[in-house]
Structure 1
Amino acid sequence: MVPITTISGDEYAFVPAALPPSEGALDPKLWPLVTKATGEVLRLDGIGRTLPSPTLLLRPLQRREALRSSRIEGTVVSPEQLLLYEALDGFESEPKGRQEQDWLEVFAYYKALRAGFRIYRRDGARLDRETMKTLHRILMDTSPRGRDKRPGHFRGVQNHVVGEAGRFTPPPVADLDGCLVNLEEFLAGEHDPGGLLGQALVRAYVAHYQFEAIHPFEDGNGRVGRLLLALTTTAWLNLSKPWLYMSEFFDENRSQYIERLFRVSTHGEWSEWIEFCLEGTKQQAEAAIRTCDALWKVRAHYLATAGSMSPRMHQIITMLFSNPILSIPDIQRRCDVHYVTAKGDVDKLVEIGVLTEVGRSRPRAFAASELLRVAYIS
């Protein structure tokens, strides 16, 4: 703890100890859970490698991550709202009210998530301070609520976190650079002690705690921290695609998530924090495998239902796995056909039970209800 002076008077800020934690910080009893959780993620990756199109599973997982990570911060949007907003290109215009701002805020996370993986894969970029700032810039620039929060820049003022675990005051600005340099070195593997602390998942959750404790931005720290977590687990486990996302587990166990983070700071409870995260990893990997199996069955059912219809109908069914809500102009544009042809295709898919009309939007929107349920709601 270091003394600081704020407008409220004298108080203390928390400066986390440099990484890595000491050798005795983790209980050796965690080894079986590390092995099990890692094995489940690698099993998920193996299944993902067999998919004819990774989009089948990736898009639902990534949108669910965006929805849940935003929900942790208090922004609640339903899957149907987000998908409809995307399908009708709502994000291309300025939001008109609070609800549209919520939709755009969730979409901003989804956009930052996908951009982060593209940048990492394309440039072979290090997971460093520039990566953090890039994720923050995309996240905050996309949503009008974040544009006045210095997108892409570390904070120049003291901030505070007030939540269920109490009031937490992150490092003062004077200590910020040193904390971030140490975290960057840890992300680069310059402080790999081996053993439990050298395991990919353990390292990722240690780094996630450290980022949250540093709280380097004026706003958006929780979301950027979870974006960075998705990147580190994918990179360090050498996954073929980014299959693992933790926000759903963190949201469903929000009080424990906050408490476990807080108690690393107050009591040095690294083992309890890592155990919590590993249990969540196992659960999320198993859930993703079940979702993949269910999606595969829905796809087979849709294609069988379409039967001997035109190849374009099969193309439209494939499109639904990118977004299970679409419009007639969307089909018209993506299949390069006239409006009347696209409308006829939609009418046929409604007739055979693949699509149903949703909402009262203009243009009209149609949803693959069974796909929507399996991918986003169940």
Structure 2
Amino acid sequence: MMRILRVGIIGTGFGARVHVPMFESHEGFEVVALAGVTARKSPDEIRAATGVDNVYTDWREMIDRENLDVLSIVSAPLEHHEMTLYALQHGVHVLCEKPMGMNAEQTAEMLAARDRSNTLGVLNFEWRFLPARRKVREILASGRLGRLLHVRYEGYRPTLRVLTRNKQGWLSKRESGGGMLGAVGSHMLDSLLWWTDSEVRTLQGELSTYHPEVTVDGEREVRTSDQAFRAIGTLANGATYSVEYASGLRHHKEDWRLQVFGTEGTLVMINDKSVEVALGDDAFETLELPAEKTAPSGMSAEQQRYYTPFITLVERLYDALASDTIDPDLPLFEHGHRVQLVLDAIHKSSDEGCRVTL
């Protein structure tokens, strides 16, 4: 008989909309409780929207009372450190949203606390499990591209109307852990290091805020976090890289583009949907990718978009907890910490106008 693991989730926004149905889609998990951090919705509204009966306004009380096996932390990054330490002290395994913390000092403490508590700490770098990204990993690991020379990874979002007509809340505040570097760059950097099986050695970074304020219904929001970022540098394996993302744009053509250049070939991934490879003097060939998983009926468009990578991560998480089988691609606290080191270095480089060696 399958062991049922009790899950508590902190976060009544994305946590309620996406984390709850993903865990509930796996027969080995039961979401037994939700805790909110802000009071935007009443407990009754949250119960009606999620089907989760036990709704708390105090996340500590939820951990104290619910005998959880797993805590999923889906709050602002400012709160990740405290919530993680509290859960680990209570012997609860943690799935933490990215970025892992506010700085590498915090993430190092989270990593050490996990080791002391003999628990599992996982980062929600779920996009690793998209078929296209796994294919990139496979090709690079095979060595078919030869010695790696350069990786260029870029993304663009036409969100000008959204940013100039709506407030962003904590996401607009650097002091709360907001900004696209943490929200999106953490995923991009994790994929870069995972694909290349390497580490960042040097970088120069720059952060930009294209739309620094907005007034909505007479209330002015001043943005202190980044809406775009750029980083260039070298990896430990000798290759160079450039990572770039910009939001708040009016138009775009491709959301995402990855190019990997090696001595024997080149790989291109577009929009996480197609992967092409050219080897030697041959033309580019489009590779066949595994089919994405079919989401259960009734899921929203947002839930369907996350389903394939997220449910795969949930499956790997269950295997790790139920049978001590840790998939080598499961993103652990170690991976969150190494990404945090790079995020910190980009902030330092942008703030001080300097080149950083890690």
TM over 0.5: no
Instruction: Report which of the two has the higher share of helix.
Output: 1
Q: TM-score, length-normalised on structure 2?
A: 0.23
Instruction: Report which of the two has the higher share of strand.
Output: 2
Q: TM-score, length-normalised on structure 1?
A: 0.22
* Higher Cα radius of gyration: 1
